[in-house]
Amino acid sequence: MLEGMEPQVKKTSCKVRSILESLDAKDREILVQALADSQWTAGALARELTKRGLPVSEKPVQAHKRKGCSCAR
């Protein structure tokens, strides 16, 4: 009766991925490059995105840049 029972895998949505998916191709590429650029700190990038109407805090940006979010799994 309980054969094959497995725990439910909880998929959490990465805030940065959600933002990337909401952008047009040009803006998406700009953000992808900024995320890969070590000169952009997570805090500075979060502030700039928020200024432009894409509210995000430093922590999810930092996790995404370090590949510690659900996108890296």
pLDDT in tens, the chain (73 residues): 888 888 876 667 899 999 999 999 999 999 999 999 999 999 999 999 999 999 999 999 999 999 999 887 7
Q: Is the pTM of this model over 0.85?
A: no
Q: Is 45 within the bounds of a domain?
A: yes
Give me the pLDDT at residue 11, please.
66
1 falls within a domain? no
Structural domain total, the chain: 1
Domain range for residue 46? 15-72
Q: Could you give the dihedral angle defined by the CA atoms of residues 30, 60, 57 and 26, in that order, rounded to the nearest 10 degrees?
A: 10
65: in domain: yes
Residues 6+ away with beta carbon under 8 Å from 20: 28, 31, 32
Per-residue pLDDT at 30: 98
Q: Is residue 62 part of a domain?
A: yes
Structural domain includes residue 6 = no
Q: What is the pLDDT of residue 10?
A: 64
